[in-house]
Amino acid sequence: MDSLDLQVLAQARDWFNGGHKVWLVTVIETWGSAPRPPGALLCLRGDGQVVGSVSGGCVEDDLIDRVRHGERVGEASLIAYGVSKEEAARFGLPCGGNLRLVQEPLKSTDWIDELLERTARHELVSRTLDLQTQGVTLQPSSRGEAFSFDGRLVRSVFGPKWRLLIIGAGQLSRVVAQMALPLDFEVLCCDPREEYHLTWDVPGTEFSREMPDDLVQRIRLDPHSAVVAVTHDPKLDDLVLLEALKSPAFYIGALGSRGNTAKRMERLKLFDLSDGEIARLHGPIGLDLGGRTPAEIAVSIVAEIIAVRNGVTLVQKKAGSAVPRPSAPAATACGIAP
């Protein structure tokens, strides 16, 4: 898959191999309401071109200005922004946020080539930059590991940190898959029906013709897995739900109207599922965005998955969902929901 960070690295490699001076800039620490999280990556070219981002734009402008005026660091080093209220306002850091970055010159693309090859095989890879020795190493990583900085070692994780299993290979599934790929999901579609298998054409995804319940048992869903059942065929959707609802997957949703969802829950009660396990089902699937087309419904599904992944209160739940919407959203500083 190509996450946004991998695209930044691919562009850095191409610029470097084209004879340009290139720097990688990584967010390592934030305080307050900084626009981009730790691990966010930017590539800066010697003539001022950039790809990726580390802020809302003003910090990028300052980095570009530094390079164009001859400030070209030769070793990986730290940069701080927003250390005062005036500077925070100047660089567009809301609520007095502060931002610390590491800027490093790209001296070789060998590690980028290896990293891109390994992530293309759906491997999860960590890259460690030692600020003392200036060395770069790559190691296998696992889901659940996150960006870290201990004052010397900058450790970034690349590859599909999350996994999305889609049951059904129709038009809606293709759009959901295309949206999930740049969101750091490894996407696996499962559909044993011959006519659907022949039309699956989403690059960067895997496809399985196994029965859904067999596949779920084989891949072992974990807390970084999401399951979306959208076949409209109870024989397939219910099979995967019986296994997924007992798993630690963080999100499980199924397509269907309120009436069909109620009937599905009654069917699930006939099996060895507890009320709590059945209540985990997001159905009707997706947030209530009023969508009607496959693309609009896909947006609502992916938005709900991201909200659950980020622990956001689901205030846009569809009527009749097993997961009820709250009576009122919580208010927070700066108007940002928790």
Task: Annotate 201-262 with DSSP letters as a single string.
Answer: --TT-EEE-S-HHHHHHHHT--TTEEEEE-SS-HHHHHHHHHHHTTS--SEEEE---HHHHH
pLDDT over 70 (residue 88) = no
94 has a pLDDT exceeding 70 = no
Residue indicated by tokens 């809606």: 172
User: Would you kindly state where each structural domain of the chain is located, as residue ranges?
Assistant: 4-158, 162-309
130 and 152 Cβ atoms separated by less than 8 Å: yes
- Residue by residue, DSSP assigns 123-163 as --EEEEEETTT--EEEEE--TT---EE-SSEEEEEES--EE
Please, which pLDDT band fits residue 104 given cuts at 50, 70 and 90? very high
Lowest mean pLDDT segment, chosen from 252-256, 286-290, 316-320:
316-320
Instruction: Give pLDDT, residue 327.
Output: 56
The whole-number average pLDDT for the span 14-37 is 86
Predicted local confidence at residue 34, as pLDDT: 57
Q: Residue 86: pLDDT band by 50, 70, 90 thresholds? A: low
Does 315 or 252 have the greater pLDDT score?
A: 252
| Helices 234-244 & 212-219 angle (0-180, nearest 10) | 20
What crossing angle do the helices spanning 171-180 and 294-309 adopt, rounded to 10°? Answer: 40
Q: Is the pLDDT of residue 302 over 90?
A: yes
In the sheet that holds 77-81, the strands lie side by side as 50-52, 41-45, 22-31, 98-105, 77-81
Query: Would the pLDDT of 329 be above 60?
Result: no
Q: Is the pLDDT of residue 316 over 50?
A: yes
> Bridge partners of 81?
99
Cα–Cα distance for residue pair 337/253, rounded to 1 Å:
23
Q: What is the pLDDT of residues 153-190, one digit of tens each?
A: 999 999 887 999 999 999 999 999 999 998 889 999 99
Phi, psi angles (nearest 5°) of residue 299 = -60, -45
Average pLDDT over the chain, rounded to an integer: 86
Kindly report, residue by residue over 184-208, the tens digit of the pLDDT. Answer: 899 999 999 888 777 898 998 999 9
Whether the per-residue pLDDT at 95 is higher than 90: the answer is: no
CATH class of the domain whose range is 162-309 = alpha beta
The model's pLDDT over 64-82, given as tens digits with 9 standing for 90+, comes to 988 888 888 899 999 888 6
Q: Express each pLDDT in 226-285 by its tens digit.
A: 999 999 888 899 989 999 999 999 999 999 888 889 999 999 999 989 999 999 999 999
% the chain with pLDDT above 90: 56
Phi and psi angles of residue 311, each rounded to the nearest 5 degrees, phi first? 70, 30
Residue 81 is inside which H or E element, if any? strand 77-81
| Average pLDDT of the residues in 33-48 | 84
